[in-house]
Amino acid sequence: MGLAAAIEAKRAGLKAVVLEKGTVVHTIYRWPRETVFFSEAKNIEIGGHPFPSLGPKPTRREALQYYRRVAENEALDIRTYTEVLRIQPQAGQFTVAYRDRDGEGELESRFVLVATGYYDNPNRLGVPGEDLPHVRYGLDETLPYWKQRVVVVGGSNSAVEAALELYRGGARVTVVHHEAEIRPRVKYWLKPDFDNRVKEGSIQLLLKAQVREILPRAVVLEQEQAWHTLPADFVLIHIGYRAADGLLRAAQVAYQGDAPLLSPVYETSLRGLFVAGSAGYGSDTRTVFIENGREHARLAVGEIARRLQGCPA
Ligand SMILES: Cc1cc2nc3c(=O)[nH]c(=O)nc-3n(C[C@H](O)[C@H](O)[C@H](O)COP(=O)(O)OP(=O)(O)OC[C@H]3O[C@@H](n4cnc5c(N)ncnc54)[C@H](O)[C@@H]3O)c2cc1C
């Protein structure tokens, strides 16, 4: 949402700087390499730039190229490898402390929009052994898992997608899910594929199963009140995410439950501090997408522009 907001700001004649701790569209860069969007290309366009895609849904690779080229064409001021450390309100403006490869620095700004997403904050199982080196959150390449016994924990899109990729990459896959069925909302082109792989025995599916402990070469499960041990060379945990909202919490914005209180234009309780995208949604990250997050950016920047009318930006 940072890019979408920066384009909106540029169109409104404002000076905006994007501080990004990784590379441009770092989150999509970190997705599994073969990811295909569930959205159609036109629904994830930003700044009115057409997104050409070869298939009905764009691929991760197409999206990386698209967003990078939009950033270039718009000549946005994006400072990559620059991590924001703190946002401090001070006398009607904000001091934004950051660290880049040359050390630490500060920027002053009248308005700040936080769009830190959720991808850095995977949900954890909270069981012993979760920090062992063979336990991972997310999948990039399948090759390291070739001929390995991989336990995938989860029952939604990312777990199903990972299980299918791993199976096709030559891994021996078991999916462990605590509910009685895989989430019915799994991408419509993945669900039948997954169901058929389970039916034919290519992927093992254990339902109503809870991971109780992870051991170096096994997972301890509780299923229907019985405990058993499942051999595992790797454990991939795909049980969702929580907002990466550490900057908001440190700035002491007001919260309701696990999400910040936001106005209809996505302003926090600190006047001038806005949020766009999943960072403002606590554990409810599933309801925010690029599709609707773009609207947060548009409304927030529209409000900033309105307040600055007649004032120098
Ligand atoms: C596999 C997968 C497939 C998806 N498919 C779709 C889809 O088809 N359609 C759709 O609409 N949505 C899809 N989504 C959801 C979509 O990716 C998110 O809703 C969207 O990326 C959220 O945007 P955001 O700007 O809030 O956060 P992000 O895109 O995660 O951006 C946050 C950025 O902030 C940076 N950052 C974090 N902390 C700091 C800091 N302290 N300082 C500086 N930079 C920082 C991160 O490096 C990152 O680049 C998918 C998600 C996943 C995981």
Residues 23 and 170 in one domain: no
Assess if residue 72 is contained within a domain. Answer: yes
Residues 163 and 81 in one domain: no
The domain boundary, picked from 181, 215, 237, lies at: 237
List C-alpha distances in Å: 254 to 7, 90, 212, 274, 292.
28, 17, 35, 12, 23
Which pair of structure tokens corresponds to residue 202? 């290519």
Task: Report pLDDT digits (tens) over 96-121.
Answer: 999 999 999 999 999 999 999 999 99
**C-alpha span between 294 and 45 (Å, rounded):** 9
Assess if residue 159 is contained within a domain. Answer: yes
Domain that holds residue 183: 135-237
Whether this prediction's pTM lies above 0.85 is answered by: yes
Residues 106 and 142 in one domain: no
Residues 245 and 197 in one domain: no
Residues 158 and 203 in one domain: yes
Ligand 1 atom, smallest distance to 278 CA: 26
pLDDT > 80? residue 44:
yes
Ligand 1 atom, smallest distance to 118 CA: 30
Mutation choice for ligand 1 from 278, 285, 288, CB with most ligand atoms inside 8 A: 278
pLDDT more than 90, % of the chain: 88
Assess if residue 125 is contained within a domain. Answer: no
Residues 45 and 87 in one domain: yes
* Amino acid 189: pLDDT: 86
Q: Of 265, 282, 285, 283, whose CA–CA distance to 274 is shortest?
A: 265
pLDDT > 60? residue 312:
no
Average pLDDT over residues 8-12: 96
Residues 248 and 188 in one domain: no
Ligand 1 atom, smallest distance to 83 CA: 42
Assess if residue 265 is contained within a domain. Answer: yes
Contacts of residue 123, Cβ cutoff 8 Å, sequence gap at least 6: 237, 239, 240, 241, 242, 283
* Amino acid 32: pLDDT: 84
Residues 99 and 157 in one domain: no
Average pLDDT over residues 196-200: 97
Residues 115 and 77 in one domain: yes
Residues 53 and 81 in one domain: yes
Residues 196 and 179 in one domain: yes
Residues 247 and 110 in one domain: yes
Ligand 1 atom, smallest distance to 2 CA: 25
pLDDT band at 138 (very low <50, low <70, confident <90, very high): confident
φ and ψ at 221, to 5 degrees? Answer: -115, 150
* Amino acid 210: pLDDT: 97
Minimum CA distance residue for ligand 1 atom 52: 31
Average pLDDT over residues 262-283: 96
The domain boundary, picked from 237, 268, 283, lies at: 237
pLDDT > 90? residue 34:
no
Assess if residue 313 is contained within a domain. Answer: no
Average pLDDT over residues 174-178: 98
Ligand 1 atom, smallest distance to 85 CA: 41
The domain boundary, picked from 217, 237, 257, lies at: 237
pLDDT > 60? residue 313:
no
φ and ψ at 151, to 5 degrees? Answer: -100, 120
Assess if residue 149 is contained within a domain. Answer: yes
Assess if residue 153 is contained within a domain. Answer: yes
- What total number of domains does the chain contain? 2
Mutation choice for ligand 1 from 7, 17, 20, CB with most ligand atoms inside 8 A: 20
The Å distance, Cα 199 to ligand 1 centre, comes to: 34
Given a contact cutoff of 8 angstroms between Cβ atoms, the answer to whether 176 and 206 are in contact is: yes
* Amino acid 209: pLDDT: 97
Assess if residue 280 is contained within a domain. Answer: yes
Which CATH number belongs to the domain containing residue 116 in this structure?
Answer: 3.50.50.60
Task: Report pLDDT digits (tens) over 225-261.
Answer: 999 999 999 999 999 999 999 999 999 999 999 999 9
* Amino acid 311: pLDDT: 62
Minimum CA distance residue for ligand 1 atom 21: 290
The Å distance, Cα 68 to ligand 1 centre, comes to: 15
Task: Enumerate the β-bridge partners of residue 39.
Answer: none
Average pLDDT over residues 73-88: 97
Pocket of ligand 1 (CB under 6 A): 1-2, 19-22, 26-27, 31, 35, 37-39, 44, 83-84, 115-117, 119-120, 158, 244, 247, 277-279, 288-291, 293
Contacts of residue 217, Cβ cutoff 8 Å, sequence gap at least 6: 231, 232, 233
The Å distance, Cα 175 to ligand 1 centre, comes to: 25
